[in-house]
Amino acid sequence: MTKELMIGLAIAGGLLALLYVILRALWIKKQPAGMERMQKIASYIAEGAKAFLRAEYRILVWFVLVVAILLAFTAGKESHWLIAVSFIVGALASALAGYIGMTVATMANVRTTEAARYSLNRALRVAFVGGSVMGLAVVGLGLLGIGILLLIYTTYFGADTPEEIQKIMNIIAGFSFGASSIALFARVGGGIYTKGADVGADLVGKVEAGIPEDHPLNPATIADNVGDNVGDVAGMGADLFESYVGSIISAMVLGAALALKQSDFSLGLALVFLPLILAALGIVASLIGTFFVNVKEDGDPQWALNKGELVAGIIYLAGSYFLIKYLVNGTVTTEGVFGYVQDSFTALDIWIATVIGLIVGIAIGFVTEYYTGAGKKPVWEIVKQSITGVATNIIAGLGLGMKSTAIPILILGIGILLAYYFAGLYGIALAAVGMLANTGIQLAVDAYGPIADNAGGIAEMSELPPEVRARTDKLDAVGNTTAAIGKGFAIGSAALTALAFFAAYMTAVGLAYIDIANPKVVVGLFIGGMLAFLFSSLAIDAVGKAAMAMVKEVRRQFNEIPELKAALKVISKHIDEPVEKWPEEDRKVFEQAEGKAEYGKCVEIATTSALKKMMIPGLLAVITPIIVGFAGGPEMLGGLLAGVLTTGVLLAIFQANSGAAWDNAKKMVEQGVEIDGVRYGKGSELHKATVVGDTVGDPLKDTSGPSLNILIKLMSVIALILAGIIAGG
Amino acid sequence: MTKELMIGLAIAGGLLALLYVILRALWIKKQPAGMERMQKIASYIAEGAKAFLRAEYRILVWFVLVVAILLAFTAGKESHWLIAVSFIVGALASALAGYIGMTVATMANVRTTEAARYSLNRALRVAFVGGSVMGLAVVGLGLLGIGILLLIYTTYFGADTPEEIQKIMNIIAGFSFGASSIALFARVGGGIYTKGADVGADLVGKVEAGIPEDHPLNPATIADNVGDNVGDVAGMGADLFESYVGSIISAMVLGAALALKQSDFSLGLALVFLPLILAALGIVASLIGTFFVNVKEDGDPQWALNKGELVAGIIYLAGSYFLIKYLVNGTVTTEGVFGYVQDSFTALDIWIATVIGLIVGIAIGFVTEYYTGAGKKPVWEIVKQSITGVATNIIAGLGLGMKSTAIPILILGIGILLAYYFAGLYGIALAAVGMLANTGIQLAVDAYGPIADNAGGIAEMSELPPEVRARTDKLDAVGNTTAAIGKGFAIGSAALTALAFFAAYMTAVGLAYIDIANPKVVVGLFIGGMLAFLFSSLAIDAVGKAAMAMVKEVRRQFNEIPELKAALKVISKHIDEPVEKWPEEDRKVFEQAEGKAEYGKCVEIATTSALKKMMIPGLLAVITPIIVGFAGGPEMLGGLLAGVLTTGVLLAIFQANSGAAWDNAKKMVEQGVEIDGVRYGKGSELHKATVVGDTVGDPLKDTSGPSLNILIKLMSVIALILAGIIAGG
């Protein structure tokens, strides 16, 4: 294939995905949005979410501009300004992916609620399509962005020699930098927002005032639901966009290093563009997969989702085998290239490496589900240890999270060694591509959770009959395994992509090796590991402070708004009793309070604290590699990358799993458990203990944990971009 | 100096310390031990503690024998059996140091209580002397053990060439291995014991039954106090013994590598034996320092302690300058030696490196105190965030612990780079020696805490007048800064010693470098970091389970022993009211319960769970480097060491500081705090929230945290010993 054709295929893949996005978004818009009250609540949520994203982007514009200017004047040895262009395009594409995903999600949520009034399956359909729009927007924009930049750069530079190709790849790395930095801010900012609002709303609503979650009288309710959208939707979109383009670009950069040494230029070109073509294949596979997600009226929705994923997976697996065979038609020599144990490898070796990536991701996912799944032994242990109170609940959860790092790390380690054995560093990068190629459909299923969650919140706030909420709750529960596998892919691909960028950094900085016993490198390792801890602490702290601010505001409203105050008193008399059965005068008090809660103030507080608190961790991630690179030299920077990679991955797994296990321990108790012959349920002391654990886990699993996956890639791509100047200095 | 003289000086230093130990132990024995009741309680504690140590040692004998046999048949290229001998001697010396320290502590505790009946100062004196016996037993046995082994080996091998010296040093490394493995088991086992009993006693006594800490009716009280002795005393003794000999031996091994390249053999010899001589100097300095710890009847006990430490410090600083100058009379060449940036260094450079070590340790200590000290801003933040309940208390504490890693790691990093700049790897090792040379007096002050704590427990259980308990509480509070600096030394020296052993491993395994970008090494890094997490989780889990077992046993006794059941009911009527003021019939019920609590059963449960649960983490630490070394090769093992070093140090700081901060947050509330105009104290909701945090922190700060410091050294010394076979294989 010519490079023009390959780039053309990538662009076509991206456009195809975006076409789907437009058609499906229009379909969602056409769905009925329910009664006026529901629409009003939904519009509060949508407006709050959009206002936050706009405010966030207004800040990030400055960040992007400053970094772009710095890049234009310093990075790389030449063509600085093109790196800056790539960076800006990457940042824009990431922001756009998040925005589209969120806009569609905030349309889909209320329509899911409306659909849930009629049937579970109809609701499932709306929620899934909403998720798939986001999934395909992410992969479409990613592939289109890289493709168009490549088209421009190859035209501009010619790209007829391996050296030119390599130069272009180093410029393209800027796209990944842009995507990663926006993703980091979006994840951290969104995470602080969602968990600050969630923890704050729970603490003052559920715990203090004793009113149910999402109750319309709780002024923090809207902020809580906005949070789901800016954190779990926009944040996750930016996150996966980052992972997706990171895996593709790091593999292309390593492909370019190989291309330099191939006697056959077209073979070299194939190695460079293969990740892009595989991504395009993944889009086609995902698209086809979405059409298999259909359920009969009484079918099993879980199976429908699995079917979609399975079809996409099989198409990808088979298609990639033939594509790789077709493109890489020759033996790849690795002589003289940094980081290979084998003298050469073939198309089959590459394909095996991508399959290894898939297996590693799925295996980590299953282990994650074992450690964090409701009903499984580890979570059951937490429940049992919570009998003696909160302290043992927390101790058990911390222990579980730490322990749960062991098997995933071993799986990851074996995967790295095997991929390396088959196709060297390129194989490691391709393993990450293998995990993420089907991001389109994977993300569609992932985006369920927040849409269904929001749909439930709207049902509650609109005081729809309980069966509607029951349906949305069921929706929310579907797709746990897929979500777990998604986590496995996120962690696995983050480690592999960061490792690939790290290797690219080594090549670019021109070091033959970085000696781990060199004290400078050890100091780098220490600082890198410390950064992961510091970064986590900043994220966790921010959530704590945002929650405190929210609690204070809600307390103020409860005290100062007389209608709310009166209604709260009434509610506490009728816990778990439907409003219709209340005595006339109590119902009147309750109705008078309607609309008195000042949601907007809470939304404002959440927005302000999230934006204020996301800056320091974000800047820390960007500035540290620069400082260490210039002050400590390329070897210490290498140590820093390895340190943040290893400690970051471990901390991410620990925090994600502790948090998820606490969450499910609480859910298990809510559904009723029996220990030593005694039954416990909602409202029991056991339940109270598990609620605390769940709250502690929130910032760990939804703010700092997932941000760490981005952090490690962001720092390694910055190092790669800086490599030219550091090596020269 | 001839080597005979230098070895003789070391032995003399060791003997001098042991002479002090004997004389002071006899002095303590002569002190009055109080009323029969106090003596009875004290004897329960002493017997429980001794029974535990004996049971522990009975298990460890098998471990030591098996490892010794394996060593004799496999380790090193030749003279395997001597490594085994060193290993056995190291293990024995460590066990002995722990046993002596604990025996004296269990004598000193009740005598401190008795002294506290008369005056604060008298009690201080007894507690300090008790601590100093332990401190000097540790350093005395350490130096004597190394000295005698050296005497035998140098006689056996001749030791007239640098090659012979190096061979001997590799054999001596077995001593450090023995000390480290016993220390690890002692720390983990003792830590599980003390925190299992403590958490269990608190949960069922303070929280459930509402009776005060150390109340004689709580069956777990004796186990709790035994725990202080086996964990905080015997465990700490073995721990510091390990640190002390580890720093000396790692520096000697690196000195031997330098000796190979010196044209002047006597200069080479001086480099090898210098750490030993500095340690002897430290013993003399510590001994002199102890004589300065005397207070007038109304003097400030804190100042007395500081005076002792200060005098010892100045003597050591000045003495080491002249000693180094005298011994290292020439320029040390580093050409052709692994791990040096400078071509040569001088005596002054070495001295500066040791001073850097001291400064780093003290600085880390002060930062630790800032982050964890009662009344300081960070702990105050935890208190304030606890207003919204347990969840925010836990979140704040986790955040604080993570954040508190940043500055210590930067200080450590700068220290490593500076020591390396002045005297290369040898300088790094000497920096650790600098921190630990004065372990004698440092440990004397550290051992205060548990002795005073026990003295308070005995006062409470013996129902002595409240002013006695008040005095022992004051004693317990004294020496916080010293304890913080002790922690700084523990963390700093662990990192430096492990780094020195790591460098020695590199030399021994014959690798010119270990490339951090090699995927094998990255996998090693991942597994090493994961081990630190897994190890922590096992320790934390074990505490949780031991506490649960304790809770169940105490509940059983409260239910099945009618006198206890009746007394508990009575007590709950008279909270915070002295027994004398109770009505006649209630007092009778209370008196009838006396002696009914079955302390022995609780002691047995704690002993069994601790011994059972210490095995897996201990074996994990020993077996993993062996497996990784043989299956993954020397490079992956190098990655493993670097991974466990960096992640281990970070996790250790995080856990120690989170735990200490939660502890002090609770103490602050107990002393009364004012937030937003409201006062909170004991029994308030705020207090309850901070009690939970304190309980969560217990296993982190006293079991898994300190064990990690041992883990990283143990694994690196094992790698060093294995290096010969791995390199050959």
pLDDT by residue (tens digit) across A617-661? 988 999 999 999 999 999 999 999 999 999 999 999 999 999 999
For the entire predicted model, the pTM comes to 0.93
- Give the mean pLDDT of B482-510: 85
A78 backbone φψ class: left, alpha, beta (φ>0; ψ -120 to 50): beta
Contact B515 A513 (CB under 8 A): yes
pLDDT of B647-700, one tens digit each? 999 999 999 999 999 999 998 998 899 998 899 998 888 999 999 999 999 999
Statement: residue B90 has pLDDT above 90? yes
Contact B540 A339 (CB under 8 A): no
Residue A534 is nearest to which of B199, B207, B403, comparing CB atoms?
B403
Tell me the two tokens of residue B620. 């994990």
The whole-angstrom separation of Cα B540 and Cα B242 is 22
Chain B residues within 8 A of A523 when measuring between CB atoms: 413, 416-417
Statement: residue B567 has pLDDT above 50? yes
Contact A515 B520 (CB under 8 A): no
Query: Which amino acid would we find at residue B87?
Result: F
Statement: residue B209 has pLDDT above 80? no
pLDDT confidence bin for B605, thresholds 50/70/90:
confident
The whole-angstrom separation of Cα A523 and Cα B407 is 13
pLDDT at B79: 59
Q: What's the start-to-end Cα distance of chain B, in Å?
A: 40
What is the number of residues in chain A? 729
The whole-angstrom separation of Cα A49 and Cα A229 is 6
Burial of A317 from C-beta contacts in 10 A (0-12 / 13-18 / 19+): middle
Instruction: Give the residue from chain B lying closest to A387, CA to CA.
Output: B548
Chain B residues within 8 A of A199 when measuring between CB atoms: 391-392
Nearest partner of B565 among B587, B589, B584, judged by Cα = B589
Instruction: Give the residue from chain B lying closest to A389, CA to CA.
Output: B203
The whole-angstrom separation of Cα A623 and Cα A531 is 11
Q: Assess contact for A95 and A183: CB atoms under 8 A.
A: no
Residue B417 is nearest to which of A520, A646, A692, comparing CB atoms?
A520
Contact A203 B388 (CB under 8 A): yes
Side-chain-side CA neighbours of residue A382 (13 Å): 38
The whole-angstrom separation of Cα A148 and Cα A8 is 9
Residue A517 is nearest to which of B417, B638, B649, comparing CB atoms?
B638
Chain A residues within 8 A of B339 when measuring between CB atoms: 517-519
Per DSSP, helices labelled H in B437-479 are 439-446, 448-461, 466-477
- Give the mean pLDDT of A708-715: 92
pLDDT at A568: 81
In angstroms and rounded to an integer, the radius of gyration of the C-alpha atoms of chain B is 25
The whole-angstrom separation of Cα A687 and Cα B393 is 19
pLDDT at B729: 45
- Among A276-285, B484-493, B617-626, which is the least confidently predicted range? B484-493
What is the number of residues in chain B? 729
The whole-angstrom separation of Cα B223 and Cα B205 is 13
Contact B389 A203 (CB under 8 A): yes
Task: Identify the residue whose tokens are 């429940």.
Answer: A383
Instruction: Find the angle CA(A297)-CA(A301)-CA(A303) to the nearest 5 degrees.
Output: 120
Chain A residues within 8 A of B416 when measuring between CB atoms: 519, 522-523
Distances (CA, A) of B315 to B276, B287, B432: 17, 11, 18
Q: Assess contact for B713 and B436: CB atoms under 8 A.
A: no
- Give the mean pLDDT of A176-183: 93
pLDDT at B307: 87
Chain A residues within 8 A of B499 when measuring between CB atoms: 519, 522
The whole-angstrom separation of Cα B328 and Cα B334 is 14
Distances (CA, A) of A378 to A391, A442, A486: 17, 26, 20
pLDDT confidence bin for B419, thresholds 50/70/90:
very high
Q: How far is A113 from chain B (nearest CA, A)?
A: 32
pLDDT at B145: 96
Statement: residue A76 has pLDDT above 70? no
Beta-carbon contacts of B5 under 8 Å, excluding residues fewer than 6 positions away, are: none
Residue A392 is nearest to which of B389, B530, B547, comparing CB atoms?
B547
pLDDT of B106-126, one tens digit each? 999 999 999 999 888 888 889
In a mutagenesis test of the B interface, which of A407, A516, A640, A647 is the best target, namely the one with the most B β-carbons within 10 Å? A516
* Strand blocks (E) in A192-283: none
The secondary structure element, H or E, covering residue B13 is: helix B3-30
Chain B residues within 8 A of A502 when measuring between CB atoms: 517
pLDDT at A305: 81
Indicate the DSSP class of residue B271.
H
Indicate the DSSP class of residue A211.
P
Statement: residue B625 has pLDDT above 80? yes
In a mutagenesis test of the A interface, which of B411, B530, B703 is the best target, namely the one with the most A β-carbons within 10 Å? B530
Contact A523 B413 (CB under 8 A): yes
In a mutagenesis test of the B interface, which of A646, A702, A704 is the best target, namely the one with the most B β-carbons within 10 Å? A646
- Give the mean pLDDT of B691-715: 92
Residue A646 is nearest to which of B390, B525, B700, comparing CB atoms?
B525
pLDDT of B15-26, one tens digit each? 999 999 999 999
pLDDT at A729: 45
pLDDT of A32-72, one tens digit each? 988 888 888 888 888 888 888 888 898 899 999 999 988 88
- Give the mean pLDDT of B136-162: 92
Residue B523 is nearest to which of A405, A417, A506, comparing CB atoms?
A417
Chain B residues within 8 A of A692 when measuring between CB atoms: 389-391, 394
Chain A residues within 8 A of B220 when measuring between CB atoms: none
Contact A544 B400 (CB under 8 A): no
pLDDT of A666-706, one tens digit each? 989 988 999 988 999 888 889 999 999 999 999 999 899 98
pLDDT confidence bin for B313, thresholds 50/70/90:
very high
Contact A517 B513 (CB under 8 A): yes
Tell me the two tokens of residue B365. 């200590």
pLDDT of A464-498, one tens digit each? 888 888 888 877 777 666 677 777 888 888 999 99
pLDDT of A338-347, one tens digit each? 778 788 999 9
Indicate the DSSP class of residue B386.
G
- Give the mean pLDDT of B101-109: 91
Beta-carbon contacts of A602 under 8 Å, excluding residues fewer than 6 positions away, are: A197, A219, A220, A222, A223, A550, A553, A554
Q: Which tops the pLDDT comparison, A614 or A322?
A: A322
- Give the mean pLDDT of B339-366: 90
pLDDT confidence bin for A708, thresholds 50/70/90:
very high
Instruction: Give the residue from chain A lying closest to B496, CA to CA.
Output: A519
Highest mean pLDDT among B202-206, B290-294, B394-398, B517-521: B394-398
pLDDT at B291: 87
pLDDT of B244-270, one tens digit each? 999 999 999 999 999 988 988 899 999
Mean pLDDT of chain B: 89
Q: What DSSP string runs through B588-618?
A: HHHHHTTTTS-HHHHHHHHHHHHHHHHHHHH
Instruction: Give the residue from chain A lying closest to B690, CA to CA.
Output: A391
pLDDT confidence bin for B13, thresholds 50/70/90:
very high
Residue A537 is nearest to which of B402, B409, B541, comparing CB atoms?
B402
The whole-angstrom separation of Cα B274 and Cα B556 is 59
